[in-house]
Structure 1
Amino acid sequence: MGCMRATNDKPAAGSYIWNSIGGMLNALQSVVVLMVITRTCGLADAGIYSIAFATGNLFMYLGNYGVRNYQVSDLRQQYAFQDYLWHRCVTILLMLAASAFYCTVNFASGSYSPEKTAIVLAMCVLKTEDCIEEVFEGRLHQNGRLDLAGKMMTVRILVSIGGMMAALVLTKSLLLSTLAAIVLAFGSFIFMAIRYRREIAWSRGPFLWAKTAGILAACFPVCAANFLSFYLINAPKYAIDAAMSEEVQAEYNFIAMPVFVIQLLTMFIYQPVMVRMTTSYRHKERMSFLREFMSVVRWLLVLSATVLFGAYLLGIPVLSALYATDLTALKGDLMLILLGSVFLAMNGFYSAVLTLMRMQNRIPVYYLIGAILSLILTPHMVATGGITGAVTAFTWIMALVCALLTMQFIAGVRHIGKELL
């Protein structure tokens, strides 16, 4: 297998800056699009977009298959880039099949109108571009060029989301605007992949089922954990979708938007240190590993405290102005769901760290426990408490999963300590 290109001489600052820009845009894209939809198409379409975006992201986790951290930490290149690429083609086909089945069932049952079905399916297709792009970003990240991965993400988001918003203003059609975003997203990705082809260092290779099956087996636990985790995030939305109106769905999503901001901002805090943490772990450098871990935790807490303080002072006025909707009655719900988002962000970091420790097989068990509790509690709490019930169930379950992952991490670190003695 070929060696990775020695491109690690780029300053770390560039990786942080571009990864931060890309992560910020990724975190804010749904916020901005939802603002435009509310003003151009109305509150009901905002609710449809919210459930379509949630569903697209849910199936995107099947397409991504939890491979990014595994790929980046594959420093010995057990699998070549073409193996990861072929694997991604397989998982995208699975993603599209699952998306089509989901939309067909909801349409046949009468839960979705023809237009809503088409919008949800189009959003799932849009998310396939995220999946194919991510494996290229993972390659750049693996080769020490996280800055270029951030640039690739930044260009794609600016082009596709900018085009989608322009189409919304011109056509006032959510479906046509989503279709426009699909074309622009794939076009910008192809352009950037060609531009960075040398840094990607892509050599063509045949499809080897043994390699694809190996990645499928190795990353299935992380895929299952990510899928279940995102289901837990969106369980309140699906409960609201089943029992309440599109307008209530929109209001819930307005106060839930900062949750995804914290989650995604946390991702670009820890992604730049994943390779260093992997190296420390492989070399049994326990203290170096823990220093990197605690550094991320400190930044996560600072970020969370800043967001919570800002939300307490300005959250409701700002969200009400952004979405042209009076959300005054939901201030308590906003603060509670943001507390839940802190646990959510920590859960994502734990999943990444446990993956590089090659303890990913344990992760899905904890998320499965949370998913089972959510299936039992969330519909009941939404039926009895509405939005307040939804955010309460979300926060309780995220705190439980965080506690379980913390215990698993501590056990793993103690294991390193024993090896060092």
Structure 2
Amino acid sequence: MRQLSLKKVKLADEQNFRKNFIWNMLGMTFNSFNSLFYMVIVTRINGTDEAGIFTLAFSVACLVFYIGTYAGRVYQVTDSNKIISTSDYVAHRLIAFAVLVIASITYSVIMGYSGQKLIVVLLLCLLKGLEALADVFYGILHKNDYLYKAGFSLTVKSLLSITAFFVIDLITHNIVLSISSMILIWGLMLFFYDIPSSYKIDKFDWNVRLKNIFFLFKDGFFVFLINFFSVYIVNAPKYAADGVLLNSSQAIFGIVLMPATLVSLAVQYLIQPYLKKMARYYEREEINNFNKIIMKLFFFTILFGVICLIGAYIFGIPILSLVYGINLTEYRIQLEIIILGAIFYSLSIILSAAMTTARYTFIQFVIYLLTSIVGFGVSNFLISIFKLDGAVLAYILIMLNQFILYILSYIYLNKTKKIFAKHL
């Protein structure tokens, strides 16, 4: 009887794991790919000028999103500190949301945005703010092994959002109304699904301790900076192009840059199944097996990258031109350079996963900080001289710089055996 009960429990755990995995993958995939669909819709319906405004605004919103999530869901879910309550996490996220709104308005004022550009930037920042706010309730579900509910919510939001955006933009040709419809969907789902679902599982109250709120801001600071800079360096050429390139040129750069996002996303999917093995080898201090995984991931990433380079050279431009309704024939070389940069970035992601497993976060913060400084300088310099081509060159130089810093750091940690020193 006892063995039968254990088998039932094991079977139930496996079924729950599959359900969590499938729904989470669906939600993350739909949410990640929506930016691609938005750009296609805006470019085809509203033209390249408004698409240029949209791609810049979306990049700004993705940056401030990490102000809203701060340390992020991983920190929340893996936290074993019983002192910090669920209420503390919710209150902390509400404060971060308020900071996100203030930061969005401040940035827009400093950049001198006005008219439609100002409205689009602020609305997309608000949309990403709601996503950041929902994430803390996803964290509650995740921590209590109800990840599938978070994945279901994200899937529904993503599908409803892209449908509403397309239909309203097709009818009105007004991206402000289209974005507003998405904000309404995310708001309704947050208040009528996310919050009630998490509250049923963990009945948090408003007994919040300020000491714990300050602790969360302090302890998650480097994680926040790493996430923040990781978004900045990918989009640094876009930010530098603001006010220098025409909106139509910014739209073209955003289109050519889009495949790079898909390459890095595919590599992240490749890494996920190996994370537990990496953690196990790290705990056992099996340095050879640990590095074999890194080399295997490097091999698959480079192989995948070469296939992408060949495929993009032959099919990339015709497909992008067909999808977006723009003649992009003269940008074949630029697309190849972008994908090459994405390969360097993907290799950096692998090394980052290895160093995060060994809990080396500060050195990664230094890498991202240096890369951000280089990215800021290189982007502004090259774009001012070479315009769109300068943005493309800046992208690959930024990614190459980050990869070099990561590979040198990883080699140093291995040679000195510090990768298995088990200290921060």
TM-score by length of 1: 0.86
Return the match for 2:44 from 39, 44, 48.
39
Q: Structure 1 residue 265: deviation in Å?
A: 3.7
Q: Which residue pairs with 2:189 in the alignment?
A: 188
Contact 1:40/1:168 (<8 A) preserved: yes
Q: Which residue pairs with 2:333 in the alignment?
A: 332
SS for the counterpart of 1:55 is helix
Q: Which residue pairs with 2:88 in the alignment?
A: 83
Q: Structure 1 residue 412: deviation in Å?
A: 5.3
Separation in 2 of the partners of 1:133 and 1:32?
22
Contact 2:87/2:204 (<8 A) preserved: yes
Measured at CA, do residues 211 and 348 of structure 1 come closer, stay the same or move farther in structure 2, by a change above 3 Å?
Answer: farther
Identify which range, 408-417 or 87-96, moves more after superposition.
408-417
Separation in 1 of the partners of 2:384 and 2:315?
29
Contact 2:53/2:117 (<8 A) preserved: yes
Tell whether 2:18 aligns with 1:17: no
Measured at CA, do residues 222 and 39 of structure 1 come closer, stay the same or move farther in structure 2, by a change above 3 Å?
Answer: same
Contact 2:157/2:189 (<8 A) preserved: yes
Return the match for 1:64 from 66, 69, 80.
69
Separation in 2 of the partners of 1:362 and 1:199?
40
Contact 2:375/2:398 (<8 A) preserved: yes
Structure 2 residue identity aligned to 1:245:
L
RMSD of aligned Cα (Å) = 3.1
Identify which range, 379-388 or 76-85, moves more after superposition.
76-85
Separation in 2 of the partners of 1:276 and 1:191?
39
SS for the counterpart of 2:164 is helix
Separation in 1 of the partners of 2:200 and 2:271?
22
Measured at CA, do residues 64 and 290 of structure 1 come closer, stay the same or move farther in structure 2, by a change above 3 Å?
Answer: farther
Q: Report which structure shows greater RCO (CA 8 Å, sep ≥6).
A: 1
Q: Which residue pairs with 1:372 in the alignment?
A: 373
Separation in 1 of the partners of 2:199 and 2:303?
38
Q: Determine what percentage of the aligned residue pairs are the same residue.
A: 29
Q: Number of residues paired by the alignment? A: 411
Q: Which residue pairs with 1:201 in the alignment?
A: 202
Q: Which residue pairs with 1:384 in the alignment?
A: 385
In structure 1, runs of 5+ residues without a counterpart are 1-5
Structure 2 residue identity aligned to 1:100:
I
Measured at CA, do residues 59 and 8 of structure 1 come closer, stay the same or move farther in structure 2, by a change above 3 Å?
Answer: farther
Q: Which residue pairs with 1:92 in the alignment?
A: 97
Measured at CA, do residues 59 and 419 of structure 1 come closer, stay the same or move farther in structure 2, by a change above 3 Å?
Answer: closer
Return the match for 1:28 from 11, 33, 38.
33
Measured at CA, do residues 10 and 275 of structure 1 come closer, stay the same or move farther in structure 2, by a change above 3 Å?
Answer: farther
Q: Structure 1 residue 297: deviation in Å?
A: 5.2
Measured at CA, do residues 401 and 355 of structure 1 come closer, stay the same or move farther in structure 2, by a change above 3 Å?
Answer: same
Q: Which residue pairs with 2:120 in the alignment?
A: 119
Identify which range, 282-291 or 254-263, moves more after superposition.
282-291
Q: Structure 1 residue 20: deviation in Å?
A: 2.9
Separation in 2 of the partners of 1:148 and 1:409?
38
Measured at CA, do residues 300 and 183 of structure 1 come closer, stay the same or move farther in structure 2, by a change above 3 Å?
Answer: farther
Structure 2 residue identity aligned to 1:40:
I
Q: Structure 1 residue 103: deviation in Å?
A: 1.2
In structure 2, runs of 5+ residues without a counterpart are 1-9
Q: Which residue pairs with 1:153 in the alignment?
A: 154
Q: Which residue pairs with 1:3 in the alignment?
A: none
Measured at CA, do residues 316 and 63 of structure 1 come closer, stay the same or move farther in structure 2, by a change above 3 Å?
Answer: same
Contact 1:22/1:154 (<8 A) preserved: yes
Structure 2 residue identity aligned to 1:384:
I
Separation in 2 of the partners of 1:235 and 1:203?
39
Contact 1:60/1:127 (<8 A) preserved: yes
TM-score by length of 2: 0.85
Q: Which residue pairs with 2:261 in the alignment?
A: 260
SS for the counterpart of 1:242 is coil
Measured at CA, do residues 197 and 239 of structure 1 come closer, stay the same or move farther in structure 2, by a change above 3 Å?
Answer: closer
